[in-house]
Chain A
Amino acid sequence: AQSVTQLGSHVSVSEGALVLLRCNYSSSVPPYLFWYVQYPNQGLQLLLKYTTGATLVKGINGFEAEFKKSETSFHLTKPSAHMSDAAEYFCAVSDDGGSQGNLIFGKGTKLSVKP
């Protein structure tokens, strides 16, 4: 069965600092991986996804993530944090290689950005 672990329920960085949000997954099939962002009082919005091909994936708002099969990781990074990045971030893995459409979500990481 597929699962996702997000290390750190809360992460705090200073404005301009590197953002690193960690995600490890377990999957019995080649994984399709996603990062979603949730701003206060809003639904989840897709940041980026990895399906096949290039392992470094670029998303919206300057975020990127690298799929590392050997480490079963899909960490999210952004070189320089902005105040507007404060939100909750969810990592997810497709339940069965993307064919059924069900995603397994991690518990989320709340990112705070200090001025």
Chain B
Amino acid sequence: DARVTQTPRHKVTEMGQEVTMRCQPILGHNTVFWYRQTMMQGLELLAYFRNRAPLDDSGMPKDRFSAEMPDATLATLKIQPSEPRDSAVYFCASGPLHGSGGGEQFFGPGTRLTVL
């Protein structure tokens, strides 16, 4: 049963600390997305990659957030330094080869981040 995995599932940290979230997309998927979900803002797209290359990261605060795909099986989202307003659930999603599935995305279970 292929699925997107995310680690850690929960993270509590103090303001100013570095946070790294990891995502393993479904094998064979070539698009990867990072979303943030909060009660106030809902679901926001932070960044996405195709074939490991960043296509759009306009939703991401550039001064503290960075997203990378070191290889096809790993995507990372890093916050440095973290702030209380970064508290949210961060989702990773992956999608199959473009043109198939019509753009369907498969979501991971999320990382719930709390910054104190």
Q: Sort chain A's interface into a size bin.
A: 20 to 34
Q: Sort chain B's interface into a size bin.
A: 20 to 34
Does B45 reach chain A (CB closer than 8 Å)? yes
* Interfacial chain B residues near A98, Cβ < 8 Å: 98-99, 101-103
11 additional A-B residue pairs with CB within 8 Å, beyond A43-B107, A45-B107: A32-B102, A36-B107, A43-B110, A98-B99, A99-B98, A99-B99, A101-B48, A101-B105, A102-B55, A107-B42, A108-B42
**Interface 0/1 of A82-114, CB less than 8 Å to B:** 000000001000110011111101011000000
A interface residues, Cβ below 8 angstroms from B? 32, 34, 36, 42-46, 49, 51, 90, 94-95, 98-103, 105, 107-108
Question: When chains A and B are docked, how far (Å) is the Cα of A107 from the Cα of B41?
Answer: 9
Interface majority SS (helix, strand, loop, mixed), chain B: strand
